[in-house]
Chain A
């Protein structure tokens, strides 16, 4: 059996990539994709622990499905926001979308 460490390392790498993307990118779509990466990293962790620690229950797997569903919903919402932003101000750069302040 593949040791759990491999999955955890994979998950950590994906999460870090995603986090780098969120912090470093300025394009809204790319940030959204990076967030997806982070979510998937979490999902991998869920599945891995579920299989290795409690093989007889499905709790972890179900959570992974939840994550996917929520990620889908979130992308739907976020893309809609980004589209409106682009329609109204012709930008996708989040630095320029800074109206959300005092």
Chain B
């Protein structure tokens, strides 16, 4: 447990070395970044072993270690204001660490080939190291402030990496949009953190705050407000409605970046935050969890439907990410940490697989518009096969990993929530089946739509296919951690349900009815997708023409971007223009210039009294004396 700090520290050290000496290192230091993240990955295992050693039956004793960062006495109160740098390890942390380090390792190896020849090759690995360090800090933080620090730092890395090719105007704009949108959410997060400290036990330590809340230390309404403010941060980071607009645009970044940051790790930070703070949500008014649920559900529906209309393969996967994140929030809204974390775990693998597969296609064809792809399976068999695994996992076909995770979510939604939630989720499965199948079919099967692109395509090299194969394997088998035996083999008997849980461990149960229903619906969606988009997709085109208004609405992403753009252009910038005008004209020219002008005018007008003529002055003197004499006489009498 004592070595936990090394996990973020090694990539951080790599970042510093690369930043300063990177250009002088052989191969610009890519090996250093990869070695660092590899070391972090390896270090997760002793941590897991430690945690299992200290386990007491099915209860895991969390480990914690902290150093003082700053502290000062508060006079009069007799307390100390203290901020620590501390690391906390529990099963949730382990799950996150495993996903982050493993996917990061795969993605960085993949990047050697993908980013080869880029003019900022060294900088790419530098930024990736900073990202890894920040993300691991976020995950391991024992207090809210360190978490916030990691939170902001990953946001900044995301800004750097989305805008990696900043010479493109669209990339620069997307980077800006991502940072500002998440930053708006972070306003809430910071307010929430301060609120929890203010009425809390004078500490930022997460576990102490949770314990304090569970003893009823916070007023219920106050706590509800605080956690909802914190949830704003999760909304922004995890791209939930209504702050989801940045994630599709974030696909302007290099594809490995999308795989790591915008699918497997950073965007699930919001899920992690809510999972970590879930005890607070539970103590708070039920409305808090309802908000999480409704937000998740809304995101699931809008992202799935938008995925139907997008033609850029990366964007489709981005919508599927939103879809998955929404599912995780639905799970959290039902207090199902196990389901959410399981989904997070497997999602990291199959979504990274999808992105890296898409990256392989883009790398080979330099084309990412589905309308110009097609038939690539013949030319890129490995990529196509792995992409198919990712697609099926995302749709949730048994026995791929996505199935088990999605099933957990469905079971909880069925048990804990009103029927309508369950029904909405089931309907979303059909849509997921539709658009994921469409993605696969349009990219890899049937006749190529652009012969030039097709001729250009070729299977990628080993540096790309090997990570794909490893991730493909993981996407296939990762779901088996639900089983007792698999858990036992890995060291946590009882499977993940008895490893990651909120209040008490429960056995993993296989609900046959849910499984059948979901498989039928998802499979039905997939088959329908196949039928619709097979060959030249005439059927899909006719359906689209039939429902033209809806298709337009979806293709324009429900006009949400337009609404925001309008609000920014006219309300925010309008306010800026008005205030700037007010400042210059009213405050400056009116107030400052005005008062100066009064002084100037007074002097200017009065100077004409100085005629320069001697008799006038003499007359003034005499009349003055006379006047004074009269006044004095009157006063005396």
A contacting B, Cβ–Cβ less than 8 Å: yes
- Which residues of A does B touch, CB under 8 Å? 19, 22-24, 26, 31, 94-95, 97-102
Closest to A26 in B: B615
Inter-chain contact A94/B610, CB cutoff 8 Å: no
Q: What are the residues of chain A within 8 A of B618 when measuring CB–CB?
A: 22-23
Q: What are the residues of chain A within 8 A of B489 when measuring CB–CB?
A: none
- Given A19-B622, A22-B618, A23-B618, A95-B610 contact (CB < 8 Å): no
Interface size class, chain B: 10 to 19
> Taking the complex as formed, is B612 at the interface, i.e. its CB lies under 8 A from any CB of chain A?
yes
A7 and B378 CA atoms in complex are apart in Å by 136
Nearest chain A CB to B358 CB, angstrom units: 81
Nearest chain A CB to B15 CB, angstrom units: 70
A99 and B614 CA atoms in complex are apart in Å by 10
Q: What are the residues of chain A within 8 A of B610 when measuring CB–CB?
A: 100-102
With beta carbons under 8 angstroms apart, the residue of B607, B608, B615 that contacts A94 is B615
Per-residue CB contact flags for chain B residues 585-621 toward chain A (1 = under 8 Å, else 0) read 0000000000000000000000110111111001100
A102 and B608 CA atoms in complex are apart in Å by 8
Inter-chain contact B607/A23, CB cutoff 8 Å: no
Inter-chain contact A23/B622, CB cutoff 8 Å: yes
Q: What are the residues of chain B within 8 A of A99 when measuring CB–CB?
A: 612
Nearest chain B CB to A76 CB, angstrom units: 19
If A23-B622, A24-B615 are given as contacts, then 4 extra A-B residue pairs at C-beta distance below 8 Å, sorted by A number, are: A22-B615, A94-B613, A94-B615, A100-B610
Cβ-closest 3 pairs across A and B:
A101-B612, A98-B612, A102-B607
Q: What are the residues of chain A within 8 A of B614 when measuring CB–CB?
A: 31, 94-95, 97
Closest to B625 in A: A19
A26 and B610 CA atoms in complex are apart in Å by 18
10 residue pairs A–B, Cβ–Cβ below 8 Å: A22-B615, A22-B618, A23-B615, A24-B615, A94-B613, A95-B613, A100-B610, A101-B607, A101-B610, A102-B607
Nearest chain A CB to B614 CB, angstrom units: 4
A23 and B619 CA atoms in complex are apart in Å by 6
Nearest chain B CB to A24 CB, angstrom units: 8
Q: What are the residues of chain B within 8 A of A98 when measuring CB–CB?
A: 611-613
Closest to B606 in A: A102
A102 and B604 CA atoms in complex are apart in Å by 10
Q: What are the residues of chain B within 8 A of A19 when measuring CB–CB?
A: 622
A22 and B613 CA atoms in complex are apart in Å by 12
A86 and B156 CA atoms in complex are apart in Å by 84
A24 and B616 CA atoms in complex are apart in Å by 10
A98 and B615 CA atoms in complex are apart in Å by 10
Inter-chain contact A100/B615, CB cutoff 8 Å: no
| B contact face: mostly helix, strand, loop, or mixed | helix
A22 and B281 CA atoms in complex are apart in Å by 96
Nearest chain A CB to B113 CB, angstrom units: 83
Q: What are the residues of chain B within 8 A of A97 when measuring CB–CB?
A: 612, 614
Inter-chain contact A95/B615, CB cutoff 8 Å: yes
A88 and B216 CA atoms in complex are apart in Å by 100
- Which residues of B does A touch, CB under 8 Å? 607-608, 610-615, 618-619, 622
A98 and B612 CA atoms in complex are apart in Å by 4
A31 and B615 CA atoms in complex are apart in Å by 9
A94 and B611 CA atoms in complex are apart in Å by 12
Nearest chain A CB to B217 CB, angstrom units: 76
Nearest chain B CB to A32 CB, angstrom units: 11
Closest to A96 in B: B613
A26 and B615 CA atoms in complex are apart in Å by 8
With beta carbons under 8 angstroms apart, the residue of A24, A26, A101 that contacts B611 is A101
Nearest chain A CB to B605 CB, angstrom units: 11
Q: What are the residues of chain A within 8 A of B615 when measuring CB–CB?
A: 22-24, 26, 94-95
A95 and B614 CA atoms in complex are apart in Å by 7
Closest to B615 in A: A23
A24 and B614 CA atoms in complex are apart in Å by 11
Q: What are the residues of chain A within 8 A of B612 when measuring CB–CB?
A: 97-101
Nearest chain A CB to B255 CB, angstrom units: 77
Nearest chain A CB to B387 CB, angstrom units: 89
A40 and B615 CA atoms in complex are apart in Å by 21
A68 and B622 CA atoms in complex are apart in Å by 22
Q: What are the residues of chain B within 8 A of A95 when measuring CB–CB?
A: 613-615
Nearest chain B CB to A22 CB, angstrom units: 5
A101 and B613 CA atoms in complex are apart in Å by 8
Nearest chain A CB to B613 CB, angstrom units: 5
Closest to A35 in B: B618
Q: Which of A23, A97, A99 counts the most B-chain CB atoms under 10 A from its CB?
A: A23
Nearest chain A CB to B603 CB, angstrom units: 9
A51 and B627 CA atoms in complex are apart in Å by 31
Q: What are the residues of chain B within 8 A of A26 when measuring CB–CB?
A: 615
Closest to B613 in A: A98
Q: What are the residues of chain A within 8 A of B607 when measuring CB–CB?
A: 101-102
Nearest chain A CB to B456 CB, angstrom units: 85
Closest to A94 in B: B614
Nearest chain A CB to B508 CB, angstrom units: 98
Closest to B614 in A: A94
Nearest chain B CB to A37 CB, angstrom units: 14
Q: What are the residues of chain A within 8 A of B608 when measuring CB–CB?
A: 102
Closest to A99 in B: B612
A88 and B21 CA atoms in complex are apart in Å by 83
A98 and B614 CA atoms in complex are apart in Å by 8
A31 and B616 CA atoms in complex are apart in Å by 13
Q: Which of A19, A99, A102 counts the most B-chain CB atoms under 10 A from its CB?
A: A102
A88 and B284 CA atoms in complex are apart in Å by 97
Nearest chain A CB to B335 CB, angstrom units: 85
Q: What are the residues of chain B within 8 A of A24 when measuring CB–CB?
A: 615
A97 and B612 CA atoms in complex are apart in Å by 8
Q: What are the residues of chain B within 8 A of A102 when measuring CB–CB?
A: 607-608, 610
Nearest chain B CB to A44 CB, angstrom units: 19
A95 and B611 CA atoms in complex are apart in Å by 10
Q: What are the residues of chain A within 8 A of B622 when measuring CB–CB?
A: 19, 23
Nearest chain A CB to B625 CB, angstrom units: 10
A102 and B611 CA atoms in complex are apart in Å by 8
Nearest chain B CB to A28 CB, angstrom units: 8
A94 and B618 CA atoms in complex are apart in Å by 12
Nearest chain B CB to A102 CB, angstrom units: 4
A94 and B615 CA atoms in complex are apart in Å by 8
Closest to A97 in B: B614
Nearest chain B CB to A74 CB, angstrom units: 15
Nearest chain A CB to B620 CB, angstrom units: 11
Q: What are the residues of chain A within 8 A of B619 when measuring CB–CB?
A: 23
Q: What are the residues of chain B within 8 A of A101 when measuring CB–CB?
A: 607, 610-612
Q: What are the residues of chain A within 8 A of B611 when measuring CB–CB?
A: 98, 101
